[in-house]
Structure formats: C-alpha cells, structure tokens
Amino acid sequence: MNDKRILSIDFGLKRIGLAVCDSSKIVITRLPQVENRLPELWHVLTSKIREYQNPEILLGYPFHERSDGKTEVNRFLVQLEKFKEKLLEKFPDCKLILWDESFTSELAKEHIFKTTGSAKSAKSRKKKKDNLDSTAAALLLKNYLQSAAE
C-alpha cells in the first residue's frame, strides 16, 4: 500500500458521507457530511482533494444492487454512475477505487445506535441522522483497509 491518504465517499441522493484516513492508513476520521446539491458539493470535494493532496478516492458502490423496477433504486443507480463519471473527469490525478458498499448504511445505523443509545428526542434523532452518512463512509474505508491488509 502506498502512503497516500484515502478519501472515502458514501454517495446518497440527499447527502454524501465523507471520511479520510491518515497516510499510514491507521486513523480514520469522519468528516462533515455534504448535502448533495450543486455547486456546493463539488466545491467541498475539490477543497478536500486539495487539502489531502490528491488522495485516492474510495467510492462506495452497490455491486449487488440491480434495477428492480423501483423508481428510487433506478434513480439512485443512475445518479451514482453520473457522480462516478464526474469524479473521474474532475479529479484525473486521483485513483478511483470502487468498493462494495453493501450494508454499510445498516451497519452505520447499528454503530450509531450502540454508541449513542436509544434516546428519542428530536435533537438526538437529528444528530444520529447527521452522523449516519459519514459513519457509513468511515465503515466503508475500514472494510477496505482491513481487506487490503489481509
């Protein structure tokens, strides 16, 4: 493994979760999630790419998800593919790695529930929702790093 940092992206139609690891690939840090709105999204991503000096980009990709006739699934897959192509276009100096994101959002929900408890307040629910996408990105990165170390 090289000494480049890895920026992990958990794509969603509403929000994009982000996490990054240090160059030694030991410490994973969740970053604030980003609303999936233009042009703010690309401004934030460009800023992160510069800050981390052209890191490798790890994009969660649903390898087992196939169009099942549901409009939302189809829309997600189309938008994810467009997002992937835009990443390749805008950041040609960054290696793009597609990694199976199966169940990362569910695992992120479990992780957040375990670490924050089951409080039912509106503030608590909002905080959990705010952490979900970046927690999923961090879990995606953790899975990738563990697999690469084996």
pLDDT the model gives residue 124: 55
pTM: 0.82
On average, the pLDDT of the chain sits at 85
Q: How far is C-alpha 19 from the chain's CA centre?
A: 7
| 59-63, 72-76, 129-133: segment of lowest average pLDDT | 129-133
**Could you write out the three-class secondary structure of the chain?**
CCCCCEEEEECCCCEEEEEEECCCCCCEEEEEEEECCCCHHHHHHHHHHHHCCCCEEEEEECCCCCCCCCHHHHHHHHHHHHHHHHHHHHCCCCCEEEEECCCHHHHHHHHHHHHHCCCCCHHHHHHHHHHHHHHHHHHHHHHHHHHHHC
pLDDT bracket for residue 119 (50, 70, 90): very low
**Predicted local confidence at residue 110, as pLDDT:** 62
Domains and CATH numbers, the chain: 6-149 (3.30.420.140)
